Structure 1
Amino acid sequence: MITPRGWLRASTALLSLSAVLVPASASPAAAAPAGLAPAGRHRTIPEPPSADQARTELDALPVSLPHSMSGYSRAKFPHWTKQYGECDTREVVLARDGEAVAQDSACKAIAGTWFSPYDNRTLDSAAQVDIDHMVPLANAWRSGADTWDTTMRKAFANDLDHSQLIAVSAASNRSKDDQSPDQWAPPSQDFWCTYSRAWISVKYQYALNITMPEKDKLVTMLNACD
């Protein structure tokens, strides 16, 4: 199995996330206080590489037909794992991507607003928000994750270090489902530049394949950066 480029960085991010989001002096009980969530390192999805770097990385990605979906299940990608205290990956992203996010003692977002860049919607309830995997789990499986072990898939599904997780409207996330950019692109073309750069970055970091129609659409979307 090819070792994905982002494996060491993703593993390090998962191990050290508490040091990023919780002060070193904080006790476990203080890690998920009721009230306003601590500000994250990023106000939204981590900034992907520039368009020029994305084009270079896109050219380096292997082009192949999709792998079989035989054996796939979401359970093979353990996600929304605990990051610190009672906070799991979903709650960390909700706090990171939202504004004035209030959490209860179990780290659940109980108030706040979230802007969904896929469809330019502002949401005022966490129940309206999904945490999207930029490269969907099923797409990753078809692109090479079928050869990974569970530890690798867990790191991929909870990767807070790269441009893999983003808070968006539940409606847009479910419309996207597990489709690649040639099958689905954000209705808001204003986000195409960021979306294509992020998609390419994740596939490059994890040494995943792309299809030719996928590559062609990503080239088109990158043109929005110009």
Structure 2
Amino acid sequence: MGPAVRAMPNPVDAATARGQLAQLTVVEEVTPPGYSRTKFPHWTTQAGTCDTREVVLHRDGQDVTQNAACQAVAGTWYSEYDGATWPDASDLDIDHVVPLKEAWRSGADVWTTAQRQGFANDLTRPQLIAVTDNINQGKGDKDPGKWMVPLASYRCAHSRAWVQVKDYYNLSVDSAEKAALGGILNSC
């Protein structure tokens, strides 16, 4: 069995997220040169043979069984993004709620490798969640101004999480992203 697990951290409430969103710096985003996913070391070891991906799969699943290498070999997972339930961990991606490239465009380009590694493996804030792989791949590096969670009932939680992560890491937002988040948060 892997390390002790807990539920995904709940995002801040809507009122707090609205306040945080109001304080975020608005910058029209361009992608600074030099982005590479490898500049965000991810799926680092958390305990024993368990890396961040396996910790999230164990945390977000039900009746998860892990092998000696800490890989999820059985269980079920509910994807908050689309409402699908999966019996096979290979059907899931671990989504960075704020994608790595989005973070790069929003200020992480000036971080140290250690800061980017902390961001990419953050189990303390609502930054990592197990979701249907093709939904996550469709999201890619898009922000809420360009992509929104398909399951309408999860949009408020996703927006609260997005803002909380951006606020904690002092990342900027662009105007379309801020407008989209504000619209969702005002209806929460």
How far the C-alpha of 1:38 sits from its partner, in A, is: 6.6
Matched to 1:129, the amino acid is L
> Quick check: 1:41 aligned with 2:10?
no
- Find the aligned partners of 1:121 and 1:220 in 2 and give their Cα distance: 26
- How big is the shift at 1:127? 0.3
Cα deviation, 1:133-161, whole Å, max 9, x if unaligned, reads 00000000000000001000000000000
The equivalent of 2:50 in structure 1 is 87
The answer to whether the 8 Å contact 1:118/1:186 transfers is: yes
Alignment correspondent of 1:140:
103
The CA distance in 2 between the partners of 1:88 and 1:124, in whole Å, is 20
**1:30-69 equivalent positions in 2, closer than 5 A:** 33=1, 40-42=5-7, 45-69=8-32
5 Å matches for 1:1-226? 33=1, 40-42=5-7, 45-225=8-188
Alpha-carbon contact 1:197-1:222 (below 8 Å) kept: yes
Give the alignment's TM-score, normalised by structure 2. 0.97
Counterpart CA distance in 2 for 1:119 and 1:222 is 19
Asked if the contact 1:103/1:111 (under 8 Å) is kept, the reply is yes
Distance 1:100 1:122, change over 3 A: same
Letter in 2 for 1:124: P
Kept in 2: contact 1:100–1:111 (CA 8 A): yes
In the alignment, the residues of structure 1 paired with residue 3 and residue 39 of structure 2 have an alpha-carbon distance, to the nearest angstrom, of 31
CA contact (8 A) 2:3 2:50 kept: no
Contact 2:74 2:87 in 1 (8 A): yes
SS at match of 1:64: coil
State the 1:186 CA deviation. Answer: 0.7
Find the residue that maps to 2:28 and give its secondary structure: coil
User: 5+ residue gaps in structure 1?
Assistant: 1-32
Question: 1:84 offset after TM fit, Å?
Answer: 0.3
Q: Quick one: which amino acid aligns to residue 41 of structure 2?
A: P
Name the CA distance, whole Å, in 2 between partners of 1:64 and 1:166: 27
Task: State the alpha-carbon separation in 1 of the partners of residues 174 and 72 from structure 2.
Answer: 38
Deviation string, structure 1 residues 43-92 (Cα, Å, up to 9, x no partner): xx310111000000000000001143410000000000000000000000
Partner amino acid for 1:140?
A
Instruction: Provide, for residues 4-51 of structure 1, a one-character-per-residue CA deviation record: whole Å limited to 9, x for no partner.
Output: xxxxxxxxxxxxxxxxxxxxxxxxxxxxx4xxx676221xx3101110
Deviation at 1:224, TM superposition (A): 3.6
State the TM-score, normalizing by the size of structure 1: 0.81
Q: CA deviation at 1:223?
A: 3.0
Asked which structure has the greater CA Rg, the reply is 1
Aligned length: 188
